[in-house]
Structure 1
Amino acid sequence: MNTDITTSSAPKFPVPHKNFSLEIKGNKTEINISSYEDHFLVIATQIGTMGTILHARKDEGVSINPTFNVSLIFGKRDEPMLGACARQLIEHISLSGSSKALVLSLGLKDHSTETLKGIIYAVIDNCMW
């Protein structure tokens, strides 16, 4: 995995965000992280479109151990690793102390574990929570 990250210096977007690209397994991967009042929006694309969209949140309850809910909004239903990617990110968000939910869009050419791990690491390294 090549982790050369380039950052965009585009005009101000009205929502706090980070936009960068990196190469994962030979595929240019564009990542945008936006921080809204109650959600984080993470878009990772290798195909120039949004792709599969997932929603992940921490369930508030009386249990000591947190539980997380990941649901597919639309897209590939036969790719369980996409849901695992969303779960890893929402767990990291929760551990950082944020209670915001996550909307994750994955438009990928390659759905391998290595690609998804590369996306998770890149998002965590550039997190806004």
Structure 2
Amino acid sequence: MMSSSAPQFPVVHRSLALDIKDHKTELVLCSYDDHFLIVASQIGAFGTILHARKEEGVTVEPTFSVSVVFGKRDEPMMVACARQLIENISKSATPKPLLLSLGLRDHTLDTVKGIVSAVIENRLW
């Protein structure tokens, strides 16, 4: 006999849809044990995948590493988005690296600001 309640997804997550600069934008935020995964899509697909992390070192000021795993390598706004998010994540009690997927129709500063704001408002860290 089947249980009446569906099993819960084992990863803490949040998903939402919002309008950013007249583009329907879907956001999925997941908190895994060792990474955060954020998917922001206006095209219904993953798009460019970036990896961002805080570098551990001997300097007083933190440094951050952002790299494109695959996708558009010539979009500075995507790198800026990942950097803003990893800087915010690194302030939390449990900083973890970030895997960020951006499938965007609009690569402007206003779009990036909208995504960063929405993620921070709905953060899982």
Scaled by the length of structure 1, what TM-score is found? Answer: 0.90
Shift in Å at residue 11 of structure 1? 7.0
Unaligned stretches of 5+ residues in structure 1: 1-9
CA distance in 2, matches of 1:20, 1:13: 16
1:10-39 Cα deviation digits (max 9, x unpaired)? 973221000001000110000000000010
2:93 to 94, 97, 108: 97
Moved over 3 A (4+): none
More strand as a share of residues:
1
Q: Which residue of 2 aligns with 1:66?
A: 62
CA distance in 2, matches of 1:75, 1:49: 12
1:44 to 40, 43, 52: 40
CA distance in 1, matches of 2:37, 2:121: 16
The percentage of counterpart residues that share the same residue type is 62
The answer to whether the aligner puts 1:35 opposite 2:31 as a matched pair is yes
Unaligned stretches of 5+ residues in structure 2: 1-5
CA distance in 2, matches of 1:12, 1:18: 13
Aligned residues: 120
RMSD (Å), alpha carbons: 1.3
Scaled by the length of structure 2, what TM-score is found? Answer: 0.92
Change (3 A) 1:55 1:85: same
Shift in Å at residue 96 of structure 1? 1.9
